[in-house]
């Protein structure tokens, strides 16, 4: 049987998830952004259309333009704390501003990442999450790029999910209450 994904809508943003608990966590991360930085919160909705939490373990994630869909494997949501998650959403949403005509305006790498990391860092500073702030630099330097390079399977998986979603071949169920 095909997996049924659950979803909620917050303003214009759709969050899709294989599990209710992850849906709640993503929603709570958005609430945290709202409470900490209302200006940044508002921007999320023009930058991101869909947060798609996959049913796959692992730490890969990828942002698609012009669809404005952020695919994120479920371990990222499950294993990170709320503050980190909120800062990551801000980071990923920012990448939407770095596109022009469907292409990144900067070459992939440090130049592209730096402004997104700076914004993420600003948020972590604001919530005084110093341990995450320290973690950020090393994570992106060491692990992040390595993991991305090592995880080609996830990238074809994301593309396949995107195709299924766009051709309405995924089973989606809206959650109205209880989150």
Question: Which residues contact Zn ion by CB under 5 A?
Answer: 113, 116
Q: Are 92 and 61 in contact (CB under 8 A)?
A: yes
Shortest reach from residue 71's CB to Zn ion, in Å: 13
Rank residues 53 and 119 by Cβ distance to Zn ion and give the closer one. Answer: 119
Beta strands 4-10 and 50-53: pairing type? unpaired
Give the residue nearest to Zn ion (CB).
116
Q: Which is nearer to Zn ion, 23 or 48 (CB)?
A: 48
Q: Which is nearer to Zn ion, 40 or 113 (CB)?
A: 113
Beta carbon of residue 117, minimum distance to Zn ion (angstroms, whole number): 7
Distance CA 158, CA 167 (A): 14
Smallest distance from Zn ion to CB 63, Å: 7
Q: Where are the alpha helices (DSSP H) in the chain?
A: 20-36, 38-47, 74-79, 82-94, 110-126, 130-138, 145-150, 152-166
């Amino acid at each position: 049987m095909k997996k049924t994904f659950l979803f909620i809508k917050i303003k214009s943003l759709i969050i899709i998830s294989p599990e209710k608990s992850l849906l709640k966590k993503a929603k709570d991360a958005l609430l945290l952004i709202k409470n900490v930085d209302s200006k940044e919160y508002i921007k999320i909705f023009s930058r991101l259309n869909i947060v798609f939490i996959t049913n796959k373990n692992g730490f890969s994630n990828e942002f698609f333009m012009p669809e404005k869909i952020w695919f994120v494997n479920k371990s990222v949501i499950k294993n990170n704390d709320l503050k980190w998650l909120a800062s990551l959403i801000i980071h990923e949403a920012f990448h939407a501003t770095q596109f022009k005509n469907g292409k990144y305006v900067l070459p992939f790498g440090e130049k592209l990442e730096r402004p997104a990391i700076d914004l993420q860092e600003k948020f972590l500073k604001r919530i005084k999450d110093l341990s995450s702030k320290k973690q950020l630099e090393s994570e992106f330097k060491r692990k992040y790029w390595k993991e991305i390079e090592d995880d080609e399977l996830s990238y074809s998986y994301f593309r396949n999910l995107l195709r299924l979603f766009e051709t309405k071949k995924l089973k989606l169920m809206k959650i109205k209450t209880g989150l």
